[in-house]
Amino acid sequence: MSTTDLKNPSSSPTASLLTEANALRWEMGEEYHDSLMEGIYEDAARIADRSVTRSGERRRFNLDRAIDHLVTSKWTGFPFMFLVLAVVFWLTVVGANVPSGLLADLLLDTVHPMLKGAMQSVGSPWWLTGVLIDGAYLAGAWVVSVMLPPMAIFFPMVTLLEDFGYLPRVAFNLDALYRRAGAHGRQALTMTMGFGCNAAGVVATRIIDSPRERLIAIITNNFSLCNGRWPTQILIASIFVGAMVPAHFAGLVAAGGVVVIAVLGVALSLVVSWSLSRSVLRGEASAFSLELPPYRPPRILQTLYTSLIDRTIIVLWRAVVFAVPAGIVIWLVGNVTIDGVTVAEHFVNWSNPFGLLIGLNGVILLAYIIAIPANEIVIPTVLMLTVLTSAINGVGAGAGVMFEADSTVATAEILRGGGWTALTGICLMLFSLLHNPCSTTIFTIYKETGSVKWTALATLLPLGMGFVVCFLVAQGWRLIAGG
């Protein structure tokens, strides 16, 4: 364009062309985008018909449909889904025991005393050894040994199911529920992922493209009982719920108790989704489209590699980063004394009345505060604190040092010694389901939403619900049982 054009645009040929184009735009109307798209598809289809030959497609097709009818039909769809999920969880819980034990042997029972000995031999003062080895190292090592094996089993299995094409069918089956809750059908997938690890579940919400529905999925992911909480549920259920019935029913009833808690979590995630989509996150449901890909043999090696790198390692690294400072805090509250009494005891005594009001106790409240990096270290912290505050002799590994009892019976003795009842057990199971997400998940929520407000809501909402539910259960229980 020459300088004269710039100075006097109205007379230039370019400007008059633009004006004409603008006028034509109004005449053309809005539908030309659609017509363009139709045209492209028409051309593409014509070219494909001319140059692509299809043979033998019919047969493979029918096999797919046969599987689809099995996994989505009225009578077999849901039982099949529960069966698959049950097998995945069973393999995770049972299969993780062996490598977890090996890692614990190595990191906790061998390396830990070795490091402690080495520190003492170079003449480090007791408090430095305590903070670094009993605090920071122990917490980090504990998190690795209890988190790594279940995640390394659970995530590859889920990824294999996804790769095979089954998970989209689960979303298809469950979409009706989520639609009524005002949420996206793919939330079923992120919820399943949350059963493995909530932080991974929150990352998985990236598959939901509507921001509103994605936030709902992020906030409610914590209601999926994660790997770190299953062992707590199983332990407490077998000690307190199983003990309420005759011995030969104990196992069954305890398992039933855990299932009830997990199902309650799913139900609450739907209820909370429903109320969120009618209050702070109200809006219209976005277009739901879900591709149901053809079934294909999973690529095992690739799946192992990506699920280990993408999910397990990242989540584990974050957990360790948070566990190390928390380990230091755990050791300090057990060892720093004010007026001859440890900080832990001060807090436990002060918060105990409130804890009892909601069916818990001061030890549990403190454990949930200082064991925020990982749900896995809640029970070791509870045991350490119980021994510390109730003066039980002969067990434990010293003030501020987390430990696990050798057997369920030994754990039960320690907890009963700490004044625990069946009500404490049930309320702990409920509180384990309904409390703030672990710090790794909170940090992940912040990274994914980029908002302090939503992170705070996702953190405080389940905590508030936990207080209310535990309070109601405790008061109801005491009213009926007269305790």
Partner 1 sequence: MNSTFVLIVLLFLLVVLLGFVFWPGKGIVPRMLLARKEKSRAHLEDVLKHAYDCQYRSVACTVESIAGILQTSIGNASQLVTRLESMGLLERDGSALHLTSDGTSYALRIIRIHRLWERYLADETSVREADWHRYAERQEHLLSPADANALAARLSNPQVDPHGDPIPTATGEIPIVPGRLLTALEEGEFGRVVHIEDEPPEIYAQLVAEGLYPGLQLQMIQRRPDYVRFEAEGEEVLLATPLARQVSVTLIPEERRKRGPFATLTAVESGRAVVVTAISRACRGQQRRRIMDLGIVPGTRVTPELDSLTGNPRAYLVRGTLVALRKEQTDQIFVEPDAGVA
Query: Which residues make up the interface to partner 1 (CB under 8 A)?
Result: 22, 25-26, 29-31, 33-34, 37-38, 41-42, 45, 64-65, 68-69, 72, 74, 77-78, 168, 171-173, 175-176, 179, 185, 210-213, 282-294
Question: Which of residues 9 and 101 has its CB atom nearest to partner 1 in the complex?
Answer: 9
List beta partners, residue 338. Answer: 341
Question: Which of residues 134 and 163 has its CB atom nearest to partner 1 in the complex?
Answer: 163
Question: Which of residues 120 and 275 has its CB atom nearest to partner 1 in the complex?
Answer: 275
Minimal distance in Å, beta carbon 317 to partner 1? 35
Question: Which of residues 81 and 442 has its CB atom nearest to partner 1 in the complex?
Answer: 81
CA angle 354, 356, 358 (to 5 degrees): 75
Minimal distance in Å, beta carbon 146 to partner 1? 38
Minimal distance in Å, beta carbon 453 to partner 1? 18
Minimal distance in Å, beta carbon 13 to partner 1? 18
Minimal distance in Å, beta carbon 268 to partner 1? 22
Residue with tokens 């190595």: 106
228-to-1, 33, 74 alpha-carbon distances in Å? 68, 51, 33
Task: Name residue 284's amino acid.
Answer: E
Question: Which of residues 33 and 50 has its CB atom nearest to partner 1 in the complex?
Answer: 33
Whether 295 and 100 have beta carbons less than 8 Å apart is answered as no
Minimal distance in Å, beta carbon 178 to partner 1? 10
441 DSSP 8-state letter:
H
What does residue 12 show for φ and ψ, rounded to 5 degrees? -75, 150
Minimal distance in Å, beta carbon 284 to partner 1? 5
What does residue 414 show for φ and ψ, rounded to 5 degrees? -60, -45
Question: Which of residues 21 and 452 has its CB atom nearest to partner 1 in the complex?
Answer: 21
345: tokens are 């005891």
Sign for the CA dihedral angle at 248, 253, 256, 257 comes to negative
Whether 328 and 131 have beta carbons less than 8 Å apart is answered as yes
Whether 245 and 479 have beta carbons less than 8 Å apart is answered as no
Sign for the CA dihedral angle at 76, 79, 85, 88 comes to negative
Q: For the residues of 102-117, what is the DSSP string, one character each?
A: HHHIIIIIIIHHHHHH
Question: Which of residues 6 and 409 has its CB atom nearest to partner 1 in the complex?
Answer: 6
